[in-house]
Amino acid sequence: MDFFKFLNESVTPFHTVDCLKHIFQESGNGRFRIWERGGMLIVALQPPNGKAHAGSRFRIVMAHTDFPALKITPNPDLRTAGIQTLHPEIYGSPIYTSWFDRDLGYAGIVLYELNGKIENTLIRSQELVRIPQLAIHLNRNVNQDGQKVNPQTDLNALWSSREGARFVDALLAQLPKGARLLDFDIQLFDAQPAQYGGLDKEWVFSSRLDNLSSCHAAAMGLMNASDSSDFKVACFFNNEEVGSLTREGAAGNFLKSVLDQMLAENGLYQIGNPKIPLDKFFSESHAISLDMAHAEHPNFPEKSEPNHAPILGKGVALKINSQKRYASDVFSSAWFKTLCSGVGVPFQTFVMRNDIPCGSTVGPMVSAALGIPTVDVGEPMLSMHSIREMTAAQDHKDLEKLISYYFRKA
């Protein structure tokens, strides 16, 4: 799937998983096994060509489908100054001010009862909503003091001037006749499509680049996988932005259960009677954790670690952290460098400053749970967690090329 089409369609984690499922089902020619959990976690796997054997290994690429957002609360309707507004709850850590004065839509999943059965459907609004900024005349020092946002009171989205309009009625209008609304998981999203920027169209401007850019590279890489005796796996977790400790998150049991199932189906493992030393099997496999990395900001170079500040367009970032917020270690990093040299993709090394706390990824918890050597890498980007982010088009091409090589090489 085209990168921009993927970005524009994946407006929620539910829509992301739906896009990924269609990619693997409709374009994979039956090559992939697919597992899904809760509509927000999907694993796609290409089994070995022929019978797996003791020399078979896992090749795993991981990313996450979620991103910071404003989620509509169960009872969101408020009326102030003649306007019906929708009250959101904060998901993850968005940059609040980036949500002001933007054209927003709402999308997600709706569950309903029809003919005694619980059904669900994905929705995406046609109408736009907005969170307007306060005029400078009413906030005279905003340019000097910065915008201070109260997330409880300042982020309500203006939805309708119709008196008595209710959000649940708008959802019901999109359901089959006779349906009874049960629940919903809806969030606001930036309605502006992805586009190129820069003098030579060298940059990508879009919402949700963190971490849909990684999801797209992982999916396209697996689509280019060749046949071998290895298990090729792409796993797309949810809830990374809130810690991963959920049923669909990287701290859950889903990936492990899928891998165990594949080993059992191929006669390599059964509970209580492993046919091969599992620790050796996993320790000789490899995993790549994909998540975006901080590029050096031209206006704030002092925020970067000297000698470890990736530049937009200069290569994929290898992410290192001695506090183990990233899964990379000296062995997986060395392996990753041979991978890059094998396909001719440049890489840069990212290390966070000692005086700025470091974020994390799905890599450490999956590596710890499975015992698989894992390296954390990602595309350098600017405006991380803003509603509108920025990365380099060449870095995305290089990451896609690298993951394709990883899934193709002997």
User: Does residue 269 have a pLDDT over 80?
Assistant: no
CB 285 within 8 A of CB 58: yes
What pLDDT sits at residue 239?
96
Q: Note whether residue 200 is domain-resident.
A: no
Task: Based on the fold, state whether residues 61 and 119 are members of the same structural domain.
Answer: no
Which among 159, 190, 221 is the end of a domain? 190
User: Does residue 215 have a pLDDT over 90?
Assistant: yes
Q: Note whether residue 151 is domain-resident.
A: yes
Q: Note whether residue 199 is domain-resident.
A: no
CATH code, 122 = 2.30.250.10
User: Does residue 268 have a pLDDT over 90?
Assistant: no
pLDDT band at 218; cut points 50, 70, 90? very high
Q: Note whether residue 9 is domain-resident.
A: yes
Average pLDDT, the chain: 95
Task: Based on the fold, state whether residues 36 and 112 are members of the same structural domain.
Answer: no
Q: Note whether residue 202 is domain-resident.
A: no
CB 64 within 8 A of CB 93: no
State what percent of residues in the chain have pLDDT above 70.
Answer: 98
Q: Note whether residue 277 is domain-resident.
A: yes
Which among 190, 217, 251 is the end of a domain? 190
CA–CA separation, 331 and 329 (whole Å): 5
State how far Cα 245 lies from the chain centre.
16
Task: Based on the fold, state whether residues 255 and 323 are members of the same structural domain.
Answer: yes
Ramachandran category for residue 346: left, alpha or beta (phi over 0 → left; psi -120 to 50 → alpha): beta
User: Does residue 410 have a pLDDT over 70?
Assistant: no
Find where tokens 């920027």 sit. 197
Residues sharing a CB contact under 8 Å with residue 383, sequence separation 6 or more, in sequence order: 95, 98, 389, 390
Residues sharing a CB contact under 8 Å with residue 214, sequence separation 6 or more, in sequence order: 63, 64, 290, 291, 292, 378, 379, 399
What pLDDT sits at residue 275?
65
Task: Based on the fold, state whether residues 88 and 186 are members of the same structural domain.
Answer: yes
Task: Based on the fold, state whether residues 274 and 168 are members of the same structural domain.
Answer: no
* φ, ψ of residue 375 in degrees (nearest 5): -120, 140
What pLDDT sits at residue 271?
59
User: Does residue 201 have a pLDDT over 70?
Assistant: yes
Question: Which of 25, 11, 60, 112 has the alpha carbon at shortest distance from 259?
Answer: 60
Copy the structure tokens of residue 41. Answer: 């976690």
Task: Based on the fold, state whether residues 258 and 402 are members of the same structural domain.
Answer: yes
More confident residue, 206 or 40: 206
What pLDDT sits at residue 348?
98
Task: Based on the fold, state whether residues 144 and 54 are members of the same structural domain.
Answer: no
> Which residue segment(s) compose the domain that 122 sits in?
69-190
- pLDDT tens readout for residues 126-151: 999 999 999 999 999 999 999 999 99
- The total number of structural domains that make up the chain: 2
CA–CA separation, 43 and 295 (whole Å): 29
Residues in the chain: 410
State what percent of residues in the chain have pLDDT above 90.
Answer: 89
Task: Based on the fold, state whether residues 152 and 36 are members of the same structural domain.
Answer: no
Q: Note whether residue 233 is domain-resident.
A: yes
Copy the structure tokens of residue 315. Answer: 């290569």
Which among 141, 159, 190 is the end of a domain? 190
Residues sharing a CB contact under 8 Å with residue 42, sequence separation 6 or more, in sequence order: 17, 20, 21, 34, 35, 36, 65, 235, 236
Task: Based on the fold, state whether residues 74 and 104 are members of the same structural domain.
Answer: yes
Task: Based on the fold, state whether residues 356 and 340 are members of the same structural domain.
Answer: yes
Q: In what order do the strands lie in the sheet with 380-382?
A: 195-197, 203-206, 389-392, 380-382, 293-294
Burial of 217 (0-12, 13-18, 19+ CB in 10 A): buried
User: Does residue 238 have a pLDDT over 70?
Assistant: yes
* Mean pLDDT across 60-79: 98
Task: Based on the fold, state whether residues 60 and 186 are members of the same structural domain.
Answer: no
H/E stretch holding 85: strand 83-91
What pLDDT sits at residue 272?
60
CATH code, 32 = 3.40.630.10
- pLDDT tens readout for residues 289-329: 999 999 999 999 999 999 999 999 999 999 999 999 999 99
Q: Note whether residue 224 is domain-resident.
A: yes
- pLDDT tens readout for residues 99-119: 999 999 999 999 999 999 999
**pTM of structure:** 0.96
What pLDDT sits at residue 210?
97
- pLDDT tens readout for residues 338-395: 999 999 999 999 999 999 999 999 999 999 999 999 999 999 999 999 999 999 999 9
Task: Based on the fold, state whether residues 83 and 127 are members of the same structural domain.
Answer: yes
CA–CA separation, 303 and 313 (whole Å): 19
Question: Which of 159, 164, 173, 186 has the alpha carbon at shortest distance from 74?
Answer: 186
Copy the structure tokens of residue 379. Answer: 């595309």
